Amino acid sequence: MFLNSVVLILQEILEAALLISILLVLSRQLQLSARWFATGMILGGIGAFILSVNLATISEWLDYAGQEILIAGIMIAVLGLLTLIGLYSTSALWASRHSLPYLMSICVALALSREGAEIVIYLGGILNHQESVQPTFTGAGIGAGIGLSAGVLLYFGLLSLPARWIFCTCILLLALIGGTMASQATLLLTQVDWVAYSPVLWDSSIWLPEDSIPGHLLYALVGYEATPSLFQAIAYGIGFLLVSISATLGYLNHFRSRRKNTGEK
Amino acid sequence: MSRSIGRFVMLLAFTLGIGSNTSFADTPIVELRIRNHLFFPDTLEVPAHTKIKLLVINEDPTPEEFESYELNREKVILGHRKTVIFIGPLPPGEYPFFGEFYPKTAQGKIVVSAQQPSE
């Protein structure tokens, strides 16, 4: 139970930790107060608890498709928030910068609710097995520790980049997470037959299995799948483009308004 | 700017909605039970190139997560609950699955046979 719980908790924590790290670096670059982080964590904790308590009922909605529809909805909402974050963080408007902390805290809250609910359900189930409680919770602590360390490593790794690359790298990583959200939502909707089956594009499970350590890491960072379907790949492309194009549009807007201002002087 | 975003959202919705919900009636239903952290049966035979509606019934009081890397499926099933997972259509081959919460014991596989089942 020990090793299983390390891996399971690590998987759940890693995805959220990487997203949070990127947002923290972005907010630091934009000189925003990081208070949104605490709000997001608290809301995410509450969200995870509410979701885990109600998941049994939600799962039975819509002819047993409720769980997938809700989680896919959360993922698409995260993609929408990342798109707005991309747009607003490059934009020059004070008002749009002002709304960034709110967007970031909702984004973190939604991501944590989704990942956290599974942890709560898993650990809650273990409480029925007295003999497994101690190894499982120890493993969970270690898994969480490794996941958080990866987040901290990414945070300082990003900050150690040359200053002019930090911002672009954050946007690129957010766009990759946006792609992952769209692709995973598509997969979930296929699982309940709301999205039609589409052929598998490639099979890289021999070279890079999803259950290997690099596989897990790449999954968390760029949404790696060994056997993605055609629709998943299309959704990934759309999600990636949404975030990256909105950031580019914001940047162009910023550049234009700055030029106008200097022209007036 | 917002118009172009709107267009992308519409495109996303269109892509996701494409051709979904083919008729449920002719989708074969296969039953899988979870008992004492084991899958019953642990080997499911299904026909090739056919979409299957997998009905997973968790008889344990504890939650379990049906997971398969080969099938690209992952779903939490709470204690004393049941759920539905659509799989396939699949080419012939073996597709292992496991219970992520109790992976030591909860192991199984789906065997996709080339022949059509004799019914």
pLDDT tens, position by position, B22-79 = 444 578 999 999 999 999 999 999 999 999 999 999 999 999 999 999 999 999 999 9
Interface size, chain A vs chain B, as Cβ–Cβ contacts under 8 Å:
117
Chain B CB contacts of A236 below 8 Å:
none
The residues, any chain, with a CB within 8 Å of residue A156's CB and separated by 6 or more, are: none
Q: What is the CATH number of the domain that holds B91?
A: 2.60.40.420
Query: What pLDDT is attached to residue A179?
Result: 97
The full set of domain ranges for chain A reads: 2-264
The per-residue pLDDT of chain B, averaged, comes to: 84
Q: A196, B18: Cβ pair inside 8 Å? A: yes
Query: What pLDDT is attached to residue B3?
Result: 54
Across A64-69, average pLDDT: 96
Helix (H) / strand (E) containing B64: strand B64-68
| pLDDT of residue B118 exceeding 60 | no
The residues, any chain, with a CB within 8 Å of residue A33's CB and separated by 6 or more, are: A101
Q: A235, B12: Cβ pair inside 8 Å? A: yes
Across B7-34, average pLDDT: 64
Residue B45 lies inside a defined structural domain of this protein: yes
Residue A264 and residue B28: Cα distance in Å, rounded?
A: 71
Parent domain of B74: 25-113
Instruction: State the nearest Cα–Cα gap between B83 and chain A, in angstroms.
Output: 6
Query: What pLDDT is attached to residue A91?
Result: 80
Chain B CB contacts of A129 below 8 Å:
62
| pLDDT of residue A143 exceeding 70 | yes
Chain B CB contacts of A187 below 8 Å:
72
Nearest to A147 by CA among A5, A2, A47, A28: A5
Residue B20 lies inside a defined structural domain of this protein: no
**At A94, is the pLDDT very low, low, confident or very high (cuts 50, 70, 90)?**
low
Nearest to A45 by CA among A91, A129, A105: A105
| pLDDT of residue B14 exceeding 60 | no
Least reliable range by pLDDT among A52-61, A231-240, A244-253, B53-62: A244-253
Write out the two tokens for A7: 């891996």
- Please tell me the total count of domains within chain B: 1
Of A68, A128, A182, the CB nearest to B12: A182
Q: B69, A246: Cβ pair inside 8 Å? A: no
- pTM (predicted TM-score): 0.88
Residue B41 lies inside a defined structural domain of this protein: yes
Query: What pLDDT is attached to residue B1?
Result: 47
Q: How many CB atoms lie within 10 A of CB A262?
A: 8
Instruction: State the nearest Cα–Cα gap between B17 and chain A, in angstroms.
Output: 6
Across A134-153, average pLDDT: 95
Q: B72, A225: Cβ pair inside 8 Å? A: yes
Across A18-43, average pLDDT: 94
Query: What pLDDT is attached to residue B13?
Result: 53
* A203-242 per-residue burial string, b: 16 or more CB within 10 A, e: under 16: eebeeeebeeeebbebbbbbbbbbbbbebbbbbbebbbbb
Residues listed for chain A? 265
The per-residue pLDDT of chain A, averaged, comes to: 92
Q: A67, B11: Cβ pair inside 8 Å? A: no
Q: A122, B63: Cβ pair inside 8 Å? A: yes
Nearest to A100 by CA among A29, A186, A190: A29
Helix (H) / strand (E) containing A204: none
Residue B103 and residue A115: Cα distance in Å, rounded?
A: 19
Between B11 and A106, residue with greater pLDDT: A106
Q: A195, B1: Cβ pair inside 8 Å? A: no
Write out the two tokens for A204: 């890289």
Between A89 and B12, residue with greater pLDDT: A89
